[in-house]
Amino acid sequence: MNSLHYRDESTELHLGDALEVMATLPTASVDCVVTSPPQWGLRDYGTAEWVGGNPRCRHTLGTTPHQRRSVKKTGIGGHRARAEKHCRRCGSISRDKQYGLELTIDEYVHKLGEASAEIARLLTPEGTFWLNLRDGYSYHNNGTGSTRRIGPEESDQVVRHKSLMGIPWRVALHLQKRGWIIRNAIVWHKPNSIPDPAADRFSSRYEMVFLLVKQPDYHVDVSHVLEPLSQERPAHRKSHRGGNKPYTIKSPWRPLARGKNPGDVWSMSTRPLPDAHCAPFPIDLPWRCIAAGCPENGRVLDPFSGAGTTGLAARHLGRFYQGIDLRRDYHDIALRRLADSQSADIDRPEAA
C-alpha cells in the first residue's frame, strides 16, 4: 500500500489508518512522537466507507455519538443481530477506521494501546512520546443511569450518567502495563476554554499531556524551554548566609540556569483556526514538546496529524515531520498552513 500523500525535504504526509501506515515505516526511525488522538464519543469525522444499500442515500449512523457507536439489538436477551454498524436509513454497512467511535471505553483504550505498540517500534531507544488526551462526561441517559459501557456487554461494567469517565488515565495506565514509563502527567490549562453551561459542577479548563518513554535513559533537555525567572534577587540576598545554625545555607545563592523549569502545569491559550478541522491544539504545546524532547535534526511523527499543528512546530524548530491522517482534506489544510507559516504570525508559538 502506497500511503504517501506529500513529501519534500522537511515534511512527509501519509494518507490512511495510523496503524496500517506506521506498520510500513522503518523501525527506530523516529525521535519524537507528539499527537492528540480523537476523543472517545465526541464527534464523527466522516471517514466511513459504505458498502451496499442505496448509493444515493445520505448515510447516517445517528445524530449523536451514542447512536453512532451503538448497534441495533434484537432477539432474546437483547443479543446483537448484526455485528457491524449500518446506516439507519438504508441499511448500508459502515466500514470505518477512525478512532473514537468504538462501542466501549475498553475498545478505545486497547486500540490506542495497539497504536502505542507501533509507536514503540518506530521510536529510537531514547525517543519520547507526548500524548494529549481530553476527558469527558457520560451523557445520553437511557433511563437507567448507566449509559457508557466500559467493557463487553456481558461484563455489566458501566460509567453512570453524568460521571467523569477518566479516559486519559485509563489510557495512560494501560500503556504503563504495556511497558511504557509514565515520566510526566502534564496539565494543559486553557485560560480561554469554551464556556461550559454546567451549573452543578465546575467548568473543565484543562487537558492531559503524558510524557511516555521506553527506557529510563531518554532525550529530554528542559534547558530549551525554560521560563524567565520571576524576579532577580537583590545583591544583599545573593550574598546571604545562614550562619552556624544547623540545616541552614552555607554558601551564597547563585542561579544556576537562565530560567526556571516550566513545571507540569502548562497554561496555553487555544488559538482560532479558520479552516475546517474541529479540534487543533495551539502550536505552543507541540513546540514545547519537540523543543525539549527531540534532538536537533531529529524526526517528529504525529499519527493523528489533522490540521498539521505538530508539523508547524517541527518546521519552526528545524525537525523533519511525518504526519498520518485518514482525511485528505486535513492534509491539504496542513500544507496550506505550512506554506503560509513563514509570514503568518498566528502560527508562531508564544514560547519561541
Residue in this structure with the C-alpha cell 457508557, named with its chain if needed: 148
> Is 201 found in the same domain as 59?
no
Answer yes or no: do 83 and 139 share one domain. no
Q: Could you give the C-alpha distances from 316 to 10, 69, 158, in angstroms and in order?
A: 11, 39, 44
Range of the domain at 14: 4-43+102-225+266-347
Grid look-up 474541529 returns: 278
pLDDT of residue 279: 61
How far apart, in whole angstroms, are the C-alpha atoms of residue 29 and residue 296? 14
What is the per-residue pLDDT for 352?
Answer: 44
Q: Does the residue 74 lie in any domain?
A: yes
Is residue 21 included in any domain, yes or no?
A: yes
Task: Check which CATH number belongs to the domain holding 119 and give it.
Answer: 3.40.50.150
DSSP annotation of 143 = S
Q: Is 76 part of any domain?
A: yes
**What confidence score (pLDDT) does residue 145 get?**
42
186 neighbors 264 (Cβ within 8 angstroms): yes
In a domain, 240, yes or no: no
The answer to whether residues 147 and 158 touch, using CB atoms and an 8 Å cutoff, is yes
Both 116 and 80 in a single domain?
no
Pairwise CA distance, residues 100 & 95, whole Å: 14
**pLDDT digit string (tens) for the chain, length 352 residues:** 678 999 999 999 999 999 999 999 999 999 999 999 998 876 665 655 666 777 778 777 664 544 444 444 433 333 333 446 677 778 777 666 677 778 889 999 999 999 999 999 999 999 999 999 999 988 765 443 445 666 665 555 788 888 999 999 999 999 999 999 999 999 999 998 878 888 999 999 999 999 999 999 999 999 999 998 766 666 555 555 556 666 666 665 565 567 889 999 999 998 877 665 566 789 999 999 999 999 999 999 999 999 999 999 999 999 999 999 999 999 999 999 999 876 554 444 654 4
Domain co-membership, 192 together with 288: yes
Q: Is 243 within the bounds of a domain?
A: no
Number of domains in the chain: 2
32 shares its domain with 108: yes
Say yes or no: 36 and 56 in one domain.
no
Residues in the chain: 352
Q: Are residues 208 and 75 in the same domain?
A: no
Is residue 232 situated within a structural domain? no
Element (H, E) at 93: strand 93-95
**Domain boundary residue among 61, 96, 131?**
96
Residues 191, 270, single domain; the answer is yes
Q: Does the residue 112 lie in any domain?
A: yes
Confidence (pLDDT) at 345: 46
Q: Assess whether 297 and 182 both reside in one domain.
A: yes
User: What does pTM read for this prediction?
Assistant: 0.80
Sign of the torsion angle spanned by Cα atoms 78, 83, 88, 90: negative
Same domain (yes/no): 198, 154? yes
**Model pLDDT, residue 88:** 75
Q: What are 187's strand-pairing partners?
A: 208, 265
pLDDT digits (tens, 9 = 90+) for 274-287: 665 566 789 999 99
Burial of 195 (C-beta count, 10 Å sphere; 0-12/13-18/19+): exposed
pLDDT of residue 1: 62
Grid cell listed for 119? 509507536
| Rg, Å, the chain Cα set | 23
Q: How many Å apart are CA 3 and CA 14, to the nearest integer? A: 5
Least Cα distance to 141 among 154, 122, 158 occurs for 158
Q: What is the pLDDT of residue 86?
A: 73
What's the rounded Cα separation, in Å, for the pair 203 and 124? 39
Residue 193 and residue 70 share a domain: no
The closest of 320, 330, 331, 274 to 294, measured between CA atoms, is 320
Instruction: Kindly state whether residue 241 falls inside one of the protein's structural domains.
Output: no
Whether residues 10 and 137 fall in one domain: yes
